Structure 1
């Protein structure tokens, strides 16, 4: 079944210039990528990694077993190998225990070796896709992230996803969580510039659309699955708006396009042509995606949550009238549902957009150095723009405040609402952490 918000599978256009993180792309395609260079102090989003139900946290150093226990594990392994050989069934258990113990001590390379050997033993005895290897794969993902080895983490994620169903129905429970985690990782890999960005972004959009097709094809599919997959695809479209720059002739005043010379500027790469088509339709695709989701919502509160996301999407693209209409409809729906506390939580104060972490780069566990913190004071107008911005550096390099001030002036906000209408908010005070 073809979805109307997946044009990359049915549209083609002429060539493009694909430039990563080009400033003009932000100006023409979407708003400031909030969360990429700075965010409110202590901000956290689900984009920071898979849920703990799939990849539990690594054991703490305080839980590391004593040296005598490590020696006992190694002796047990040697005895099992002597009795049954290097691939004996049962070796995976002490190998995994050894891997956990080494990870707790921060000896990541040795822990990886133990877990990989445990996986090999399991695959020899139980097959390539046996259920028993799931916790071992999850532990490996956690170790690679803790060690900052994102290239190997990227190599391992497809296998992890495949063991959890590879996005095939039924998309419920851990299968759904794995599909969402895989999408999150692909977005993080794009932010980290791992591998071929063009191919990865296209594959991400295609996979997101296919997952939505599978859910739509199952009448009994839970609302949560459709909602979460749709919002995941929306984040993918946010990345399109930020990462794909228009071709030179789309920059006003840059030059007069010559149709007879135009092709000399481009590569005639079909993948890049598809990306340009996506860039030009991304705003409308995201709007239709959310409108269809809102129409299918099972109750007013669920519909309101989608309308908030729709308003944020429209606002980020500078469509202030459409954003206000969506937010007003969300407020009305929440009031009808008797959820005035949700109205206060969502619209009681201005909110930086996008408020979903799609541009956020999670800090690595090894990054212990404190980041600069900037205190800012400003007014957010009823149109969701920061004015009268003033800032000072609280800690770290003094120049950090300059970038925050410039970015705040370009940033788009969801304004505060009072009595169902947007209002200006003076004296907004925020502490921002700056990502060097």
Structure 2
């Protein structure tokens, strides 16, 4: 056991000093020793797998990170059983990671992220329903993320029609910068997401003590869903319903400022809380200036934009580009923004024009 912990500690030191490939090797040695000492299904391997996931992500090895996440889930399922509710938080964590990974790349081969996320959220919904009932507030998160998965499936089908049995040619790696709203609405994906949000609202109706801000946020998310699929009038109705839900609430202005105080680029992805491996103080002291950020800075463009009451961008001013003079970077960001949709800013209960809203855009793929 002492040797396995020594290898794990070495992996942590290497991880927090940016030596990711070496960290992975150390974590693998520790896993091997834990399997010998504790058994092949032992959850004692979980901290090492989390260290490997973190290292693979930092190296841009997304498929390898996905495999490590799969192994982490497999260990938990073997330990608790495939239908144990204790799996639900891990399902949510892994599902969120896959959605974020797809949003950052969106290549044709990356559909496995969506397939995995969909399976995880459907399973999480089924387990939660069985354990807590069909109106449990614990269903809200998985339902919202299942809807987001449906949206990305719709976008993927539009970007790669040949992958969905369409004869139209679409070269590998192609991504368009705009989506036909009519095309996105075809099939069941739009209806699947709509069903998720309506189920969420039904849950709130059956939980009268649930926070009003959560119900208002769901109405706002339903409005976002309508807006993404081109139903402008329905979107505004949902946004106004979010306002109405907060009538008489003491913190109404604060909540509305959070929901509608600034434009919000759609779709909104839930921020994931990543659980890194535990690191003792000696490992942390190896690099006291480490701030848990990546050694490499992704290319980005900072812009100031004008957003209409309908949620469209009509003006873009470039504020900063990194790296400077990167060929085509600013043009690609502008193209992406011009076809993007935003939840508009509201003032006095009405959607309004927003001037010079600052936003940082990572390089679109």
TM-score range, shorter chain: 0.7 to 0.9
Residue 347 of structure 1 deviates from its aligned partner by 1.4
Q: Does structure 2 retain, via aligned residues, the 8 Å contact 1:151–1:194?
A: no
Specify which of 212, 216, 226 is matched with residue 304 of structure 1. Answer: 216
Question: What CA RMSD, in Å, does the superposition of the two structures yield over aligned residues?
Answer: 3.4
Q: How does 1:114-153 map to 2 (within 5 A)?
A: 114-153=26-65
Answer with 1 or 2: which has the greater Rg: 1
Q: How does 1:201-350 map to 2 (within 5 A)?
A: 201-219=114-132, 223=136, 225-245=138-158, 280-297=187-204, 298=207, 299=210, 300-340=212-252, 341-350=254-263
Q: How does 1:37-436 map to 2 (within 5 A)?
A: 89-165=1-77, 168-172=82-86, 175-190=87-102, 191-192=104-105, 196-198=109-111, 201-219=114-132, 223=136, 225-245=138-158, 280-297=187-204, 298=207, 299=210, 300-340=212-252, 341-356=254-269, 365-368=294-297, 371-378=299-306, 380-387=307-314, 389-395=315-321, 396-397=324-325, 400-422=329-351, 424-435=352-363
Gaps of 5+ in 1: 1-88, 250-261, 267-275, 359-363
Question: Cα–Cα, structure 1 residues 278 and 114, in superposed 2: closer, same or farther, change >3 Å?
Answer: farther
Gaps of 5+ in 2: 170-182, 272-292
Q: TM-score, normalised by structure 2?
A: 0.74
CA distance in 1, matches of 2:156, 2:148: 12
Q: TM-score, normalised by structure 1?
A: 0.63
Residue 221 of structure 1 deviates from its aligned partner by 8.4
CA distance in 1, matches of 2:15, 2:227: 45
* Larger helix percent: 2
Question: Cα–Cα, structure 1 residues 151 and 375, in superposed 2: closer, same or farther, change >3 Å?
Answer: closer
Residue 225 of structure 1 deviates from its aligned partner by 3.0
CA distance in 2, matches of 1:105, 1:248: 44
Question: Which one scores higher on RCO, CA 8 angstroms, separation ≥ 6?
Answer: 1
Residues 83-117 of structure 1: per-residue CA shift (max 9 Å, x gap) = xxxxxx44212221222233334333333222212
